[in-house]
């Protein structure tokens, strides 16, 4: 039985490479209409060339895909895009918040246009804003859905979460005190690796709190956070393209052992298929919050299943606090009423 419904209109971030791009290839083959955010015109042109190289006709690309310019590290850029899209009064069936930035290995902090730590700005704050502002377009759909790409590293007890510094937002002191904080928990020693793990925890707290707030308004839709597992492409693109700059030899060795020797990774193509499926399949149409993890069953074998989230990710008070503080951070730069 075909579990996929008729083609949808889907907005997806983080789709110019890696898992997102692989999902786009499969979504387009099913004739879904896509809005793919791109940081600049150069990324648009590169993405179109990639699609042509993957044997899509230009006529199909023009009819099925639009490429809005959105810099997810710039709140002004996001706001401009949102306002333009809302004016069009289109309908969105699925919002896929997939963009993920990691620059593990860097010793110094990188910042957005608004001077916000870059990992937090891209991985959490941009998606927090998009999820709220695009709700009117989602609620026009008969079957709306929000999908957020997180990671098992949000959980300090998971295999990936145990390595290095553990994810923890503490009492959110950094976010409380200044939008130009180093670490969300208020630590003044910057760790790019922990910054990434913390944002993956933020992703799940966002999904849970969004689902709760929608329920209070008697709005019920699937809000799905998922963990793709460890995905290491053989190309220089994809998720590790930034962190590779800081430790290329280490990344090469890590890739060899994890992907080729121990076989504990997922292929980009399979991860893209999973993202496509979660975004479109009736199998994932339960109108509630879910966390789904692509887990290692044995070397070379991954299993996708519902999984428990960490104790901190289950903290409803922290989810509410993160929501409110994220809105306050945005309001420092944009005077817009948020949900």
Q: Which residues participate in catalysis according to the annotation?
A: 196, 200
Token duo for residue 314: 């289950």
| Rounded Cα–Cα distance for residues 155 and 160 (Å) | 8
For the chain, what is the HEC assignment? CCCECCCCEEEECCCCCHHHHHHHHHHHHCCCEEEECECCHHHHHHHHHHHHHCCCCHHHHHHHEECCECCCCCHHHHHHHHHHHHHHCCCCCEEEECCCCCCCCCCCCCECCCCCEHHHHHHHHHHHHHHHHCHHHHCCCCCCEEEEECCHHHCCCCCCCCCCCCCCCCCCHHHHHCCCCCCCCCCCCCCHHHHHHHHHHHHHHHHHHHHHHHHHCCCCCCEEEEECCCECCCCCCCHHHCHHHCCHHHHHHHHHHHHHHCCCCECHHHHHHHHHHHHHEHHHCCCCEEEEEEEEEECCEEEEEECCCCCCCCCHHHHHHHHHHHHHHHHCCCCCCCC
| Rounded Cα–Cα distance for residues 323 and 272 (Å) | 29
């Amino acid at each position: 039985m075909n579990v996929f419904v008729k083609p949808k209109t889907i907005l997806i971030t983080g789709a110019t490479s890696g898992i997102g791009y692989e999902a786009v290839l499969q979504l387009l083959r099913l004739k879904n209409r896509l809005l793919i955010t791109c940081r600049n015109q150069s990324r648009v042109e590169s993405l179109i060339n990639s699609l042509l190289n993957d044997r899509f006709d230009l006529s199909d690309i023009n009819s099925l895909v639009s490429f809005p310019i959105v810099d997810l590290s710039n709140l002004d850029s996001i706001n401009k895009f949102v306002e333009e899209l809302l004016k069009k009064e289109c309908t969105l069936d699925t919002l896929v918040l997939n963009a993920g930035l990691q620059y593990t290995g860097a010793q110094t902090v990188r910042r957005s246009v608004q001077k916000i730590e870059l990992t937090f700005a891209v991985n959490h704050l941009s998606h927090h804003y998009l999820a709220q502002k695009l709700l009117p377009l989602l609620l026009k759909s008969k079957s709306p859905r929000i999908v957020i790409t997180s990671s098992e590293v949000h959980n300090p007890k998971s295999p990936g979460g145990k390595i290095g510094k553990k994810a923890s937002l503490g009492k959110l002191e950094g976010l409380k005190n200044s939008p130009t904080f180093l670490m969300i928990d208020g630590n003044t020693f910057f760790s790019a690796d922990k910054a990434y793990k913390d944002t993956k925890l933020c992703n799940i707290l966002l999904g849970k709190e969004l689902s709760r707030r929608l329920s209070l308004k008697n709005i019920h839709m699937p809000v799905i956070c998922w963990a793709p597992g460890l995905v290491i492409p053989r190309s220089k693109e994809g998720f590790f393209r930034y962190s590779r700059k800081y430790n290329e030899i280490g990344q090469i060795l890590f890739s060899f052992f994890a992907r080729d020797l121990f076989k504990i990774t997922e292929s980009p193509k399979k991860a893209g298929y999973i993202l496509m499926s979660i975004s479109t399949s009736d199998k994932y149409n339960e109108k509630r919050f879910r966390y789904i993890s692509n887990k290692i069953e044995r070397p070379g074998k991954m299993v996708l299943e519902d999984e428990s989230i960490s104790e901190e990710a289950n903290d409803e008070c922290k989810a509410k606090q993160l929501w409110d503080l994220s809105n306050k951070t945005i309001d420092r730069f944009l005077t817009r009423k948020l949900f």
